Chain A
Amino acid sequence: MAGHSHFSPANVEEHFEFSSEGKKRIIIAFIAGLVALALGIYLLSKGESGGHEVAAAGHEAANAGHEAAGAAEHLSGGAASHQANAEEHYDWTNRIWANVWLNAVFFTGIAVIGMFFVSLQYLAKAGWSSVVKRVPEAFPKFLYISLPILLAVFFFKGDVIFHWMHHGVTEVGSENYDKIIAGKAGYLNKTFFMIRLVGFGALWIILWNMLRKKSIEEDLVGGSEIFTKLVRISVAFIVIFGASSSMFAWDWVMSIDTHWFSTMFGWYMFASWHVTGLAIITLTILLLKDKGYMAYVNENHLHDLGKFMFAFSIFWSYVWFSQFLLIYYANLPEETIYFLERWEGHNKIYKTSEVLNIFFNFFFPFLVLMTRDAKRTRIFLKIACFFIISGHYIDFYQMIMPGVLGKHGGYGLVEFGMLTVFASAFIYVVSNELTKASLVAKNHPFLPEALHHDI
């Protein structure tokens, strides 16, 4: 029975103060990221990767890679040919755009999962989460930044990211004509893609604004009427998110490897987004607690968040494995190419991260969060958050980079700098949004229940 603090909820407000020193630190991190990025770009333009790229290892490795690519092509008929296509068009700036795309997709997911989490809690009429809900509620603010970035990159540099946007792939008679892609042109075309991005993106933002406004209004007014309205907004969002998360998974990530498809992909990307979002929610709460905020969030609430992370790490592994198993079992060349590329294609540069992907996202969280005590101990939760967040960055890296960059990918200053820039921007935006409402939703009807949460 820890946390038996008997304060009357309605009298308590707690405001997060975004100190000028905190701002300064985040801005310094942002600038450091920019510097690393600039340096990385400079090195790239000189033909060096600014990191450990295998291309630097010389032509021996490249030869082995050609063999692997040749084998792949032999296996898959025409499926690997677009890779060769990407080689011809390769320009060193592609790596920059690929990184922008990767981080924008990653952080859009984290931001929207904040909304998803809150909606899910309202939909389930969950009581325990009412003490923590203001934290995820602040996340979607970042959509204002990440969605326009996605739109801009797609509009101006889409042909770098997506094979299906290459010139002439759908024109009969063109030397680039590709029958498979032409068959998908009804869905994968520039206009429809933008309609989906703008349409669903706008719906996300509108619904979040409605929810946020009502939620803050609840602090002033109280009563159960607003709660009912919030449930309705949540229902609408869940329905829209159910469709849009899958479509965005196909659009933003799966269509990079245009020839390849997987019916598991919508779930797979949602699982990755969700568990990252949960880890970031937990980490934010832990860091706020370290600063002395949210004293009413006790180990019981942390236990629930830990269970969420544990469960959805396993869920992600389940989906990842299901996708892999079906492809492995059926052994169809046009499907196995996806894993072949990541395992032994491209001079094997993606093999390490493919292995790390499984260890960081399945084995480590599974073992770290297994016991009850671990889920109630802050340091173990933080360790798990670290693995999950970095692991899922790697996961998205694995989804996007091999298709966009092929053998020109790598982990270098560009990756590090771009991630730092996006992460510090995200932290800044979310911290700023957290200051705009009390950290405790003081008139939430279930708050007394949450304060006495005991498991």
Chain B
Amino acid sequence: MSSTTNYILGVYDDEDEVLHAVSEIKAKGIKIEEVFTPFPIHGLDTALGHPRTRLPIAAFMFGCLGLICAQALINYTMVFDWPMIIGGKDFFALPDWIPVSFEGTVLFTAFGLVTTFCISNGLYPGKEVEVLDIRITDDRFVMAINVDKNKVAATDIKKALKDSGAVEVNVK
């Protein structure tokens, strides 16, 4: 969140109020950027209308990659480079390889997903924490509205937030 962005923050002190406020604000045609809460509120995702996460698709892709890599590794080492007879089986003994293939799939999926999550959220080790309002980690619920992305005038947004029960309206 760079300093060039203008946010209007509606601060609420009750989870039910913020949940109702979301639909009220949306009904007035104002786009909500995000709602920050100290704990998960049931139904908030649905109320905000956020699109479903695409992480499962990424998980599937990473899983496929992991499977291919694991198979490539075993095939290269066990079939081509240094064939060995184990338990009287073929060099290409698929059942024996299922555990390794599984582990490879899981490993790639796990690392891949953590990396994807961090990149898509702009996180990296040593990143400075940006908090719009420190009280969202304590007892306040903050609705952030990006002024630049809204066609509604800033004064109207502030008024709408006040009307919906915000105890404070701040600009950041």
Given contacts A329-B87, A330-B87, A331-B88, contact A1 B95 (CB under 8 A): no
Given contacts A321-B98, A324-B95, A325-B96, contact A452 B87 (CB under 8 A): no
Please indicate the chain A residues that have their CB under 8 angstroms from the CB of B46 in the complex: 1
Pick the contact of B43: A1, A321, A324, A325 (CB < 8 A): A1
Instruction: Give a binary string over A431-455; 1 marks a CB under 8 Å from any B CB, 0 the rest.
Output: 0000000000000000000001010
Cross-chain contact B96 with A329 (CB below 8 angstroms):
yes
Instruction: Give the interface SS of chain A, mostly helix, strand, loop or mixed.
Output: helix
Given contacts A330-B87, A331-B87, A331-B88, contact A325 B95 (CB under 8 A): yes
Distance in Å from the Cβ of B97 to the closest Cβ of chain A?
10
Please indicate the chain A residues that have their CB under 8 angstroms from the CB of B89 in the complex: 328-329, 331
Docked Cα-Cα span, A325 to B89, in Å, equals 12
Within 8 A of A (CB), among B1-57: 42-43, 46
- Give the number of residue pairs across the A-B interface with Cβ within 8 Å: 26
Distance in Å from the Cβ of B85 to the closest Cβ of chain A?
11
Instruction: Give a binary string over B60-104; 1 marks a CB under 8 Å from any A CB, 0 the rest.
Output: 000000000000000000000000001111000001101100000
A: number of interface residues (CB 8 Å): 10
**Chain A residue with Cβ nearest B40:** A454
Cross-chain contact A328 with B95 (CB below 8 angstroms):
yes
Given contacts A329-B87, A330-B87, A331-B88, contact A452 B42 (CB under 8 A): yes
Docked Cα-Cα span, A321 to B94, in Å, equals 12
Distance in Å from the Cβ of A323 to the closest Cβ of chain B?
12
Please indicate the chain A residues that have their CB under 8 angstroms from the CB of B98 in the complex: 321, 325
Distance in Å from the Cβ of B104 to the closest Cβ of chain A?
16
Distance in Å from the Cβ of A337 to the closest Cβ of chain B?
16
Residue of A1, A330, A452 most packed against chain B (CB within 10 A): A1
Docked Cα-Cα span, A329 to B97, in Å, equals 11
Please indicate the chain A residues that have their CB under 8 angstroms from the CB of B96 in the complex: 325, 328-329
Docked Cα-Cα span, A454 to B42, in Å, equals 6
Distance in Å from the Cβ of A39 to the closest Cβ of chain B?
42
Docked Cα-Cα span, A197 to B96, in Å, equals 38
Please indicate the chain B residues that have their CB under 8 angstroms from the CB of A330 in the complex: 87
Q: Chain B interface (Cβ within 8 Å of chain A)?
A: 42-43, 46, 86-89, 95-96, 98-99
Q: Chain A interface (Cβ within 8 Å of chain B)?
A: 1, 321, 324-325, 328-331, 452, 454
Cross-chain pairs A/B with CB under 8 angstroms, 14 sampled: A1-B42, A1-B46, A321-B95, A321-B98, A325-B95, A325-B98, A328-B87, A328-B89, A329-B89, A329-B95, A329-B96, A330-B87, A331-B87, A454-B42
